[in-house]
A and B are shown apart, each in its own frame.
Chain A
């Protein structure tokens, strides 16, 4: 449950203990009214934007600074942000767009929600700086439809920022203009995929586009578009305030800065924890109060279900950064740590996850549309006690046939839990098939 602070109804709706965290994207959390414009300005907010637009800082210099920072896409793919920005065409006859992806629907991921409800102005500033750098005239923040109350907070912040001259025509009296709008999804995981998200902004089904062309050349309404994750944009003002190097120095090589980790599942204090890149997992787990009910750790999905599950030993030895987790044969993803204790049945957990991917497949391309249903039905049969031993190889095979053959990454995402669960916990699956019930139920 929430920390003591939250329980005592402090004005700051902090869910997690701030001790031990390095607050950068959530820096307003230390204040009484974190989402307010005044709060943000008090903490030095909008100073980077002000400097950039009044001094007319060169776009290339900004991009260089972002490259120096080592900031990598926080949505899960980890693509270097500075490099992505350099793909946007400089000269284009017409409107260029900026899109922020706040469509968190990958189970275990809920970091961006806290940014838009507790520190919306830093995101707005980050997007305004990006718009200035990339020459985008219009921006959209696409917000997960389920978090409606937070959508309203963010939209109110937009009006506040516009009234204060940080958005709209002639920002801060300069000739830089940028309109930023909040738009929303309405219940489709796939819209977290950037091209599906773009289709959704255009008022269509969220079916991913085939790439190339990438959004940088063909994005919203067919125009050049830069899409970044909420946390990525939110890191920008700090980087330009303190310098790219300072950001890089917070983290470890190849993983600059801090990272918001969404910790959920079997811990005492689930919530978001913003820590330096490279923090050892056990420290993060300790921040979250450790495994709940004094139980033992069984496994962790470190970056959302599209990253391979890690048995306790592997994750306990890992550090929380891109290289650290890829060395441990998983991936940082969006930093969504789903913690499972010793009582967790991996077969049932996979059953739920496979249902999720089956439900959320957009249906556009064959392997995912047909394969996710197949996988779910086989696991469902196992859970209902009608599994066959050869089902495990079939599941592996079908998942391998989905992965790498689809339009978007959902194919891989759907295959990953199946492959990694069976790989690491095969005996549990075999037990279930043989006995028609969970190994955990018999304990």
Chain B
């Protein structure tokens, strides 16, 4: 079942399109549900498709076409590092190697504590800030150095333990 919060958000996105074009909101709806649940299970995709009144397979097409949807769990923090040309020229390899060493996982792997996952990203359209990464599809960190990566990881761990403390 979609949460009331998710439905409110999806309904807001639906206001952008004609009433008979509910499918248009699928990109947002999948994003909203993924943000809430961490990744898109088949059940999640089915729920979105049903809510929008579109064939499930059409929703699956969308979910599998766009890179930023995750069809398997990606841990609490998905770190996507761009390795495309502008980033590569500014040593994104160093950032990637540092992350891999620090977290002890390779691309598309989740750390044992379920906190982190590293993904290789394609161009994020921020090449002026290379090398860069983004966390959970939303927070962009640019002009990376290994020290800056450490700071980002530290912040995330802090954030995570703060949240657990609240719970």
B residues near A353, Cβ cutoff 8 Å: 85
Taking CB atoms and an 8 Å cut-off, the chain A residues in 179-215 that contact chain B are 181, 183-189, 200-206
**Cβ-neighbour of B65 out of A2, A109, A206, A349 (below 8 A):** A206
**Which residues of A have CB within 8 Å of B67?**
186-188
Q: Give the bracket for the number of chain B residues in contact with chain A.
A: 35 or more
Q: Is the CB of A140 within 8 A of B16?
A: yes
Q: Does B25 contact A (CB under 8 A)?
A: yes
Contacts of A104 in B (CB 8 A): 125
- CB neighbours (8 Å) of A221 from chain B are 18, 21, 24
Q: Which residue in B27, B89, B134 is a CB contact (below 8 Å) of A338?
A: B89
User: Which of A108, A200, A336, A356 makes the CB contact (< 8 A) with B122?
Assistant: A356
Interface string of A157-177 (1 = CB under 8 A from B): 000000000000000000000
Instruction: Contact check, B140 vs A264: say whether CB atoms are below 8 A apart.
Output: no
Chain A residues near B41: list those with CB within 8 A: none
A110 contacts B126, C-beta separation under 8 Å: yes
B68 touches A264 (CB 8 A): no
Interface size (A, Cβ < 8 Å)?
59
Question: A107 on the interface (CB 8 Å rule)?
Answer: yes
- Closest B residue to A223 using CB positions: B18
Shortest Cβ gap from B68 to chain A (Å): 4
B84 is an interface residue with CB less than 8 A from chain A: yes
Q: Are A266 and B89 in contact (CB under 8 A)?
A: yes
Does chain A have a CB within 8 A of B3? Answer: no
Taking CB atoms, residues of chain B closer than 8 Å to A301 are 85
Inter-chain CA distance A148–B121, complex, in Å, is: 15
Overall SS of chain B's interface:
mixed
The answer to whether B89 touches A185, judged by C-beta atoms less than 8 angstroms apart, is no
Q: Does B157 contact A (CB under 8 A)?
A: no
In the complex, A78 has a CB within 8 A of chain B: no
Contact residues of A between 264 and 316, Cβ < 8 Å to B = 264-266, 270-272, 301, 305
Is the Cβ of A203 less than 8 Å from the Cβ of B25?
yes
Give the Cβ gap from B133 to chain A, nearest Cβ, in Å. Answer: 11
User: Are the CB atoms of B123 and A189 closer together than 8 Å?
Assistant: yes
Question: Which residues on B sit within 8 Å (CB–CB) of A185?
Answer: 27, 66
Inter-chain contacts of B139 with A (CB < 8 A): 148-149
Which B residues touch A113, using CB under 8 A?
125-126
Listed A/B pairs (20) with beta-carbon separation below 8 Å: A2-B143, A108-B127, A110-B125, A146-B121, A147-B126, A148-B134, A149-B139, A188-B66, A188-B67, A189-B122, A202-B21, A203-B24, A203-B25, A262-B127, A263-B128, A265-B85, A270-B90, A338-B86, A349-B88, A359-B122
